Amino acid sequence: MIPSSAEAVDEQFRFEASHLLDEWSAGPADESAQLAVFDKLAVEIVAGSGARVQDRSGRWYWDLYGGHAVSLIGHAHPLWAAIVGEQARRLPFYSNLTPHPLRAAACRAIVDLAPSNLTRVFLTNSGAEANETALKLARHHTGRTEVIAFEGGFHGRTAGALAVTWNRKYRDYAAPGLGHTRFVPFGVVPEIGEDVAAVIIEPIQSLNGMTTATAEFMHGLREACDKAGALLILDEVQTAWGRLGTPFAADYYGVRADLITGAKSAAGGFPVGVTLVDDAIATRVKPGDQGSTFGAGPLACAAILATHHIVRSEGLMANARFVEQQVRELVSWPVRGHGCLLGIVCPAPSREILPRLRAAGFMAGGSDDPHVLRLMPPLCLPPEAVTEFAAALNATI
């Protein structure tokens, strides 16, 4: 039978979609067709709501991992889902060849949130792409080739991003194709020569155990870059969009960046990479200098706008600051980081603690520092989750 109206057609396909999703999700995940590059946990997450996720058995967990700092606004936020679903019914994708109102609105929303000197945006699909864009822009703008990066830093898995990533277990795989980078100790302002195009830094080195920059160090970098004519790139793939309790780490530290990169939390779970650029650099960019097929599609831009609206309308940045305060008050061991990007320095290795926490109903993360437990929860994490986690952690160690 042919449905009699557009509403009936929509309802029919929604019913079919639900049925098909249930069918495709039935039974344990058979991952034999995937390239085996991830060490998987012994838990299969199939659903989420707010700051909690659910495994196949129906058990709920407080999500203090946030899908690796991605789930900024919580899982399956009803407004986000409605906006993304509605845009999917209107126009999922069209290229940057034509203007689109959502692209214009999303870029304007990002610029309005950003520090005032960063007035232009280039959208891609990941943090690695955002960092590569920033590095290309810096080299082109300055006419220089060398980049300074920091020991312990992680900037992505593509070749250009790996070139400024410290850990050799990531870098050596692609070593033949990497550019010229000089690594210096984190926390030490380096000597910057006349061949240096840019200094790139994560204000909080999450994977390195939430190693956290001081304000003095960040301002020292800015001053050294200015003296040498080099650019300062803040890799805010994990620190942006309110996760620290401020829109960006640049705001938290009160430091001016020439370029800021972001991703992860920018669109509430939809793949997006963001490179923010100041006027001096933007005025020298011409058509064809950058490109991205999927960057800035209408569906991605709808997800960006929905995420930013929810962060602001629900006061999530203030809650990020409250979460940090709670964790510092209730946990018995040293805490690194800021807002909802925290590392707990534990007396026992995290590989021993994490399975016990999962057994108690908490998802959290480890790091390259074996004694640092990482917390990257949604900004909507409620007070009772922190209280219960602290009690479970204190009882676990």
113-154 residue pLDDT tens:
999 999 999 999 999 999 999 999 999 999 999 999 999 999
What span, in angstroms and rounded, lies between the C-alpha atoms of 287 and 232? 24
The stretch 287-301 carries a mean pLDDT of 92
Which superfamily does 24-56+66-76+315-396 belong to?
Aspartate Aminotransferase, domain 1 (3.90.1150.10)
Measure Cα distances from 359 to 211, 237, 362 in Å: 28, 30, 7
41-76 residue pLDDT tens:
889 999 999 999 999 999 999 999 999 999 999 999
225-245 residue pLDDT tens:
999 999 999 999 999 999 999
User: What six digits make up the tokens of 17?
Assistant: 């979609």
Lowest mean pLDDT, pick from 23-37, 63-77, 190-204, 376-390: 23-37
How confident is the model at residue 175, as a pLDDT? Answer: 56
User: What six digits make up the tokens of 328?
Assistant: 């510092």
Residue 42 has a CB neighbour count (10 Å cut-off) of: 7
- HSE-up of residue 117 (Cα within 13 Å, Cβ side): 13
What span, in angstroms and rounded, lies between the C-alpha atoms of 156 and 184? 18
Per-residue confidence band for 1, with pLDDT thresholds at 50, 70 and 90: very low
Mean pLDDT computed over every residue of the chain: 94
Contacts of 356 (CB under 8 A, 6+ apart): 396
The stretch 159-186 carries a mean pLDDT of 78
Contacts of 234 (CB under 8 A, 6+ apart): 201, 202, 203, 248, 249, 250, 255, 257, 259, 260, 261
How confident is the model at residue 196, as a pLDDT? Answer: 97
Beta strands 60-63 and 52-55, pairing class: antiparallel
Which CATH class name applies to 82-313? alpha beta
For 175-191, b where at least 16 C-beta lie within 10 A, e where not — what string? eeebeebbbeebeebbe
Cβ pair 102, 306 in contact under 8 A: no
What span, in angstroms and rounded, lies between the C-alpha atoms of 66 and 77? 14
Total-model pTM:
0.94
Q: Residue ranges of the domains in the chain?
A: 24-56+66-76+315-396, 82-313
How confident is the model at residue 172, as a pLDDT? Answer: 67
242-285 residue pLDDT tens:
999 999 999 999 999 999 999 999 999 999 999 999 999 999 99
